[in-house]
Amino acid sequence: MNEYIILMTYAVVIGCGATIIMDLWAIMLKRFFGISSLNYAMVGRWIGHLPKGYLVHQNIAQSLPIKHEKALGWLAHYLIGIAFAALLLVIYGLNWATHPRLLPALIIGIVTVLAPFFILQPGMGAGIAASKTPKPNVARFRSLLAHTAFGFGLYISAGLVAILFPLS
């Protein structure tokens, strides 16, 4: 089979699995500690305004709603997870998918926090690395934990895929 197709198939499965684990982390925080996670409808709103030329908002919650913004936000969340899984496989190779190691997954997971720090949060009006939020360090720490959970999710998902669907 074409190596590109194999890589993308693994990226979809591992990326979705890792994103599910990240979402389970968010559900656990909400249920046991009352800590809310990112509202993906606002992500969809931000994305929906991009074609209109609006990259940075003062406060995304006050921007005009976009049709199907919640679905768009959730779709983007999972597509981004797939893209980051593909990045991991491009950097570390398909061999990583058949013999996953924790450190590469955690490195990618933690590095992915740069995307919300420097793209999403400023674009939604929260400033670089949540600098305009009431408690920036708390927001940064929560983002870091969420993306660390994503890193663990990459490792766990790849491990399950390697067991259930071995490449060789």
Q: How many domains does the chain have?
A: 1
pLDDT at 168: 63
pLDDT at 88: 98
pLDDT at 40: 97
The string of DSSP codes covering 91-153 is HH-HHHHHS--HHHHHHHHHHTTHHIIIIIHHHHTS-GGGTTSSSHHHHHHHHHHHHHHHHHH
Residue numbers in the chain where pLDDT is lower than 70? 1, 167-168
Residue 40: domain span: 3-164
Q: Is the dihedral angle over the CA atoms 138, 142, 143, 148 positive or is it negative? A: positive
pLDDT at 166: 79
